Amino acid sequence: MPVATFILPASLALQLLSAAAPAAKSAPKAVPAKPTVTAKRAAPVYAQATAEKLIGPALTDGHAYARLAELTDGIGPRLSGSPGAEAAVQWALRSFKADGVKAWLEPVKVPHWVRGEASGEVLASERTRGHPLALLALGGSPPTAPEGLTAEVVEVTSLEQLESLGAAVKGKFVFFNHTMTVAADYGRFAGLRSRGPAAAAKHGAVGALVRSLATASLRTPHTGATNFPSEGPRIPAASVATEDADLLHRLLAGGPVRVKLMLGSSELPDADSSNVVAEIRGREKPQEIVLIGAHLDSWDVGTGAHDDGAGVVMVMEAARLIAKLPQAPRRTVRVVLFMNEENGLRGGRAYAEAHAAELPRHVGALEMDAGGGRPVSVSVRAGEGGQDLLRPWLPPLTALGVTQFSAREAGGADISPLMPARVPFFGVEVDSSRYFDVHHTEADTLDKVDPQDLARSTAAVAWMTYALAEMPGTLTRPEAPAPRGPAPVTVPAQQSKTSGN
């Protein structure tokens, strides 16, 4: 998808814009006055040559996909505290330096949960000879006793239903079932995974089984973090494949069902890890920072290609391409590869704490963490006029399929700790309709990422990052979020439905 050659200095473009507007107004009434494509292209607020230098290579050089192969095929899974996570940190540091982008590590203490072995089965009864269960321990789950945990199963479909059952779940497995069918359902049901087991434990349940948060399944369990408040009881918790959830539901319709679960997980002492930070210093306003981020950690199943290898290479590529421009943009572009988005958000919090003094000078922050799908829109979270400020920068993205703003505000788990400092957010929204086919599963592998989609989203991220760093004005700062009471969950419950966690 080559980009047409149309070079026009920004200053001249602005003159043409001024000149063109009155001319259009004086046109005879018989001729429609709406601006033509040509008229629009005659008045960019940016240098077309820069759009070409960022978008052209992103669409043609295959660099993002090759880098994603290094991260997924080469390094593989990278759960916080694991050797894979450390290897990814070193790889990222090396890669930034190879790109000529200044980079360094910032320390983060991370949880160090290790999955171990896991198995489970429906025990034989009058209605079945028994079945193995396709399951994965949820991140943060304690182990069962080595001989396993056997109990009857109680099905609920909401936290409210669990509350109404109360002590009736004592001594049992609570089985959280739900009706997720499409990606947009994730936000509705993710609380069953993140908060359900703790709520079940509070009522005396001995274990929890959660239907996978999935839009496709071939006996494919989806892991993810579950959270226990530090003072409450902790019980073994696993996700089961949707097929196995359906099986439990069918068997429960006929009478009691007993399950045996064995989890060999362990929680080791917190480990030393790092955020990887890289920077291209601004040419005019280096003190103003445009942050672009993604999370370097992944789950320990699959290779985290969509979650969040794709986001990682998009922002790394954006920095590499911006660093190759003849001159740096006005403001500083800072890349942050956060550690521990998946099961702790320690990297996001560490960044916000370490850079607290700088946050008033963060003029924009983006996090890519919804997979490597094609770009569909630009999002923003700012005070008044945010979209108006960005709109003139959208035309180079038209051929990539991005012509409008998302109805949703920009955001991301790792940048959410920047909200109290009123940092404006921007984003490139991608098609994540198939994201939950593989999210947090063994199937999140390189082959699931389409090279063309990844290239287009990389191009859009590079361009929008440049826009924020180069535009004359800055986004007005949004209101600070309302203060919240203490929440038992590690990740905010109001998390965007396509965020990684």
What is the radius of gyration, based on Cα positions, of the chain?
25
**155 vs 147: CA distance, rounded Å:** 24
Q: How far is the CB of 175 from a copy of itself (least distance, A)?
A: 16
Count Cα atoms within 13 angstroms, Cβ side, for 9: 3
What number of chain residues touch a copy of itself (CB under 8 A)?
35
Percent of the chain that is helix, strand, coil (3-state, to 5): 35, 20, 40
Could you say whether residue 219 binds a copy of itself (CB under 8 A)? yes
Residue with tokens 């966690």: 501
Closer CB to a copy of itself, 152 or 246, in the complex: 246
Q: How far is the CB of 152 from a copy of itself (least distance, A)?
A: 18
Two structure tokens written together for 206? 């001995």
Q: Which of 134, 198, 257, 376 binds a copy of itself (CB under 8 A)?
A: 134
Dihedrals φ, ψ of 209, to 5°?
A: -125, 125
Could you say whether residue 84 binds a copy of itself (CB under 8 A)? yes
Q: Which of 16, 20, 39, 128 binds a copy of itself (CB under 8 A)?
A: 128
**141 vs 111: CA distance, rounded Å:** 12
Closer CB to a copy of itself, 128 or 150, in the complex: 128
What region does 440 belong to: left with phi over 0, alpha with psi -120 to 50, or beta? left
Please tell me which residue in 86, 288, 341, 367 is annotated as part of the active site: 341
Task: Give the E-state strand segments of 234-330 in sequence order.
Answer: 237-240, 258-263, 266-280, 285-295
Stretch that binds a copy of itself, among 105-113, 163-171, 319-327, 442-450 (CB under 8 A): 442-450
- 131-132 and 266-280 strand pairing: unpaired
* CB proximity list for 81: less than 8 A, separation 6 or greater: 110, 111, 112, 113, 114, 268, 270, 271, 273
Could you say whether residue 479 binds a copy of itself (CB under 8 A)? no
> Is 470 in the active site?
no
Q: How far, in whole angstroms, is CA 257 from its chain's centroid?
A: 37
Q: How far is the CB of 250 from a copy of itself (least distance, A)?
A: 6
Could you say whether residue 417 binds a copy of itself (CB under 8 A)? no
Q: How far is the CB of 242 from a copy of itself (least distance, A)?
A: 8
Residue with tokens 């190759």: 324
Greatest CA separation found in the chain?
Answer: 87
Contacting a copy of itself within 50-69 (CB under 8 A): 69
Q: Which of 445, 474, 490, 501 binds a copy of itself (CB under 8 A)?
A: 445
Contacting a copy of itself within 239-258 (CB under 8 A): 242-243, 246-247, 250-251
Closer CB to a copy of itself, 67 or 346, in the complex: 67
Could you say whether residue 324 binds a copy of itself (CB under 8 A)? no
Q: How far is the CB of 248 from a copy of itself (least distance, A)?
A: 10
Task: Give the E-state strand segments of 115-257 in sequence order.
Answer: 118-122, 131-132, 135-137, 149-156, 173-176, 207-211, 237-240
Closer CB to a copy of itself, 100 or 116, in the complex: 116
Closer CB to a copy of itself, 152 or 358, in the complex: 152
Q: How far is the CB of 134 from a copy of itself (least distance, A)?
A: 6
Closer CB to a copy of itself, 125 or 406, in the complex: 125
Could you say whether residue 406 binds a copy of itself (CB under 8 A)? no
Considering only CA atoms, which of 116, 115, 120 is closest in space to residue 245? 120
Closer CB to a copy of itself, 219 or 324, in the complex: 219
The enclosing H or E element of 66 equals helix 63-69
Could you say whether residue 437 binds a copy of itself (CB under 8 A)? yes
Could you say whether residue 129 binds a copy of itself (CB under 8 A)? yes
**184 vs 193: CA distance, rounded Å:** 16
Q: What is the dihedral of CA 93, 95, 99, 102, to 10 degrees?
A: 0
Coil/strand/helix, residue 355: coil
Could you say whether residue 303 binds a copy of itself (CB under 8 A)? yes
Could you say whether residue 127 binds a copy of itself (CB under 8 A)? yes
Closer CB to a copy of itself, 245 or 491, in the complex: 245
Q: Which of 1, 168, 216, 356 binds a copy of itself (CB under 8 A)?
A: 216
Q: Which of 310, 378, 380, 446 binds a copy of itself (CB under 8 A)?
A: 446
Q: Which of 190, 438, 462, 467 binds a copy of itself (CB under 8 A)?
A: 438
Alpha-carbon distances of 17 from 31, 50, 150, 198, 214, rounded to whole Å? 20, 19, 73, 59, 49
Could you say whether residue 29 binds a copy of itself (CB under 8 A)? no
Q: Which of 9, 18, 21, 73 binds a copy of itself (CB under 8 A)?
A: 73
Could you say whether residue 441 binds a copy of itself (CB under 8 A)? yes
How many Cβ atoms are within 10 Å of 295's Cβ, its own excluded? 33
Could you say whether residue 218 binds a copy of itself (CB under 8 A)? yes
Dihedrals φ, ψ of 193, to 5°?
A: -80, -45
In the DSSP assignment, the letter for residue 416 is G
Residues that are catalytic = 341
Interacting residues toward a copy of itself by CB under 8 A: 69, 73-76, 83-84, 87, 127-131, 134, 216-220, 242-243, 246-247, 250-251, 302-303, 437-438, 441-443, 445-447
